[in-house]
């Protein structure tokens, strides 16, 4: 397969050649339609001026006069009614001229050979050194009738111009091809670097370096590629962290279950110890069950398998019902909970959005201080509603806030050890909100509290 560099050079040169051919054909059409009639009229006027001067000055030597005219750039053919003819100036390549044409001029008509020359290329039409490609006019001198045929001597008039245009054309072609080759190398070079970077990226090397200082589309492409590389690196790290976390979160309860079942089998235990061990085993099983359900829900959300079952429901009533369900946990920690919930109906999946509110409320309870407070509010605008869960808990720093919606991320080691959780809840909540066309954001200060704000479209 040809390289992009070769393809670009070949295509560009091909375009140059095709453009030249098209320009030539268009110029030919312009010559045939516009320039040739003008050229014919101009040369007809010159021929008539020559005849007029000769007829007004019967004493001049006609041959000498026409000879002098030929020296300034004309080819002339003079034929008398007796059939005697003479040529002046450069010889014609083709002296063929029909008797009817001569007779026509003898009868006083003007022969427009330039105008009616065959419709070929303008190079042939303009430079054809043929007797047919002339202007014929009647001439009477000293009582003798003549037919005078005249055309410009192109070779004499434009000989140096031929060389000039020849060199100009040759230099233009050579310089154009050279510049195409050089400029193409400049254009293709960053693409070659991008190709090498892509190959490196495919091998798992995310530390790629490419030029992003260009201000054109290739610079934008390079910048986007670097952004993609950094994002892929982050995704790869998240994937590794995901596998590590899920392995740990599955292995840990399994180890506990295995250990306690071994104790139940081998050790003579009292009823109290058995009850404690069975309680621990059931807790670990519940933990695994919760983790499995959340992973299945995440997988469904990621695939977006028409999981949303939207309908109209009252979001304020849903949150009030949720608060009543957790009243025992609130009372247990001595937390004061308040809410300002204006009745508002929205269109969405009530089951999935209930998961969002449940996660935000349980987090506000888990990470709150004893005898702290939780405030829940709903504010509405013309097109959206803002649901806010604000607590007076332990809060988060900026780094933690940036990663709080990552899967399996727990805000700090101390919290992950003391509070049960899978690290999937906020990731699930964020995904559900995005599927509804909304946004979720967090504002927090360490040791002061955290506020989660969910914005959802009304319709």
Pairwise CA distance, residues 149 & 70, whole Å: 12
164 pLDDT more than 80: no
Asked whether 54 and 146 are in contact (CB, 8 A), the reply is no
CATH number at residue 294: 1.10.287.130
* Residue 168 forms part of a structural domain: no
Q: Residue with structure tokens 């009616």?
A: 116
Picking from 302, 336, 358, the residue at the C-terminal end of a domain is 302
Side-chain-side CA neighbours of residue 57 (13 Å): 10
Extended strands (E) in 31-162 = 74-80, 85-88, 111-112, 135-141, 144-152
In this prediction, residue 417 has a pLDDT band, given cuts at 50, 70 and 90, of very low
Average pLDDT over residues 278-294: 82
* Residue 192 forms part of a structural domain: no
* 97, 136: one domain: yes
* Residue 189 forms part of a structural domain: no
User: Tokens at residue 117, please?
Assistant: 């020359």
CB-CB neighbours of 412 under 10 Å: 12
String of b and e for 329-344 (b: at least 16 CB within 10 Å)?
ebeeeebebeeebeeb
Boundaries of domain holding 355? 308-457
pLDDT for the residue numbered 20: 79
* CA-based end-to-end distance of the chain: 54
Side-chain-side CA neighbours of residue 256 (13 Å): 18
DSSP string, 221-266: HHHHHHHHHHHHHHHHHHHHHHHHHHHHHHHHHHHHHHHHHHHHHH
Q: Residue with structure tokens 């009304």?
A: 458
CATH number at residue 403: 3.30.565.10
Q: Which of 368, 425, 375 is nearest to 393 (CA)?
A: 368
* 30, 152: one domain: yes
* 250, 312: one domain: no
* 325, 289: one domain: no
Q: Which of 23-37, 314-328, 346-360, 391-405 has the lowest mean pLDDT?
A: 23-37
* Residue 251 forms part of a structural domain: yes
User: Tokens at residue 270, please?
Assistant: 């009292």
Pairwise CA distance, residues 380 & 383, whole Å: 8
* 262, 238: one domain: yes
User: Tokens at residue 133, please?
Assistant: 């490609």
User: Tokens at residue 160, please?
Assistant: 């140096």
As for how many domains the chain has, the answer is: 3
* Residue 176 forms part of a structural domain: no
Picking from 259, 274, 302, the residue at the C-terminal end of a domain is 302
* 120, 72: one domain: yes
* Residue 197 forms part of a structural domain: no
Pairwise CA distance, residues 277 & 234, whole Å: 41
In this prediction, residue 212 has a pLDDT band, given cuts at 50, 70 and 90, of low
Most confidently predicted of 57-71, 232-246, 287-301: 57-71
* Residue 185 forms part of a structural domain: no
pLDDT for the residue numbered 104: 93
* 129, 153: one domain: yes
**3-state helix/strand/coil string of 313-324:** EEHHHHHHHHHH
> How do beta strands 439-445 and 373-380 pair?
unpaired
* 253, 314: one domain: no
* 286, 403: one domain: no
297 pLDDT more than 50: yes
Pairwise CA distance, residues 153 & 93, whole Å: 12
Asked whether 339 and 323 are in contact (CB, 8 A), the reply is yes
Pairwise CA distance, residues 390 & 365, whole Å: 10
Average pLDDT over residues 376-385: 87
The pLDDT tens digits for 64-101 are 999 999 998 899 999 998 889 999 999 998 999 999 99
* Residue 66 forms part of a structural domain: yes
211 pLDDT more than 70: no
- The CA distances from residue 229 to 225, 345, 389, in Å, are 6, 43, 36
In this prediction, residue 1 has a pLDDT band, given cuts at 50, 70 and 90, of very low
* 357, 224: one domain: no
Average pLDDT over residues 453-459: 87
CATH number at residue 28: 3.30.450
Q: Cα angle vertex 245, ends 242, 248, to 5°?
A: 145
- The CA distances from residue 138 to 44, 91, 96, 298, 459, in Å, are 11, 21, 19, 101, 93
């Amino acid at each position: 397969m040809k390289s992009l560099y070769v393809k670009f050079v070949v295509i560009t040169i091909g375009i140059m050649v095709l453009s030249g051919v098209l320009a030539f054909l268009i110029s030919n059409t312009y010559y045939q339609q516009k320039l040739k009639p003008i050229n014919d009229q101009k040369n007809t006027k010159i021929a008539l001026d020559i005849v007029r001067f000769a007829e007004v000055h019967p004493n001049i030597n006609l041959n000498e006069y026409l000879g002098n005219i030929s020296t300034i750039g004309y080819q002339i053919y003079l034929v008398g009614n007796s059939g005697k003819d003479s040529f002046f100036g450069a010889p014609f390549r083709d002296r063929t001229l029909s008797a009817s044409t001569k007779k026509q001029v003898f009868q006083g008509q003007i022969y427009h050979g330039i105008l009616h020359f065959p419709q070929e290329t303008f190079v042939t039409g303009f430079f054809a050194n043929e007797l047919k490609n002339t202007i014929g006019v009647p001439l009477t001198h000293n009582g003798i009738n003549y037919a005078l045929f005249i055309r410009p001597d192109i070779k004499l008039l434009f000989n140096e111009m031929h060389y000039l245009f020849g060199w100009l054309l040759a230099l233009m072609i050579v310089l154009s091809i050279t510049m195409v080759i050089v400029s193409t190398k400049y254009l293709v070079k960053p693409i070659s670097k991008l190709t090498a970077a892509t190959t490196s990226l495919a091998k798992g090397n995310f530390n790629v370096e490419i030029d992003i200082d260009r201000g054109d589309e290739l610079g934008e492409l390079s910048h986007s590629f670097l952004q993609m590389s950094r994002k892929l690196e982050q995704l790869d790290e998240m994937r590794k962290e995901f596998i590590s976390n899920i392995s740990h979160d599955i292995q840990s309860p399994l180890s506990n279950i295995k250990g306690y079942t071994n104790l139940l089998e081998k050790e003579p235990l009292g009823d109290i110890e058995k009850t404690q061990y069975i309680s621990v085993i059931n807790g670990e099983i519940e933990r695994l069950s919760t983790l499995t359900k959340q992973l299945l829900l995440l997988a469904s959300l990621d695939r977006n398998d028409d999981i949303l079952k939207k309908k109209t429901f009252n979001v304020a009533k849903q949150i009030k019902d949720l608060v009543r369900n957790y009243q025992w946990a609130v009372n247990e920690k001595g937390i004061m909970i308040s809410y300002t919930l204006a009745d508002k109906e929205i269109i969405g999946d009530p089951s999935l959005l209930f998961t969002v509110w449940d996660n935000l409320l349980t987090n506000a309870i888990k990470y709150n201080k004893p005898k702290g407070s939780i405030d829940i509010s709903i504010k509405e605008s013309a097109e959206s509603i803002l649901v806010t869960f604000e607590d007076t808990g332990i809060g988060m720093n900026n780094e933690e806030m940036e990663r709080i919606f990552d899967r399996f991320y727990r805000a700090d080691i101390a919290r992950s050890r003391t509070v049960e959780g899978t690290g999937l809840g906020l990731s699930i909540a964020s995904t559900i909100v995005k599927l509804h066309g909304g946004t979720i954001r967090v504002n927090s200060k360490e040791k002061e509290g955290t506020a989660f704000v969910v914005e959802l479209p009304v319709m």
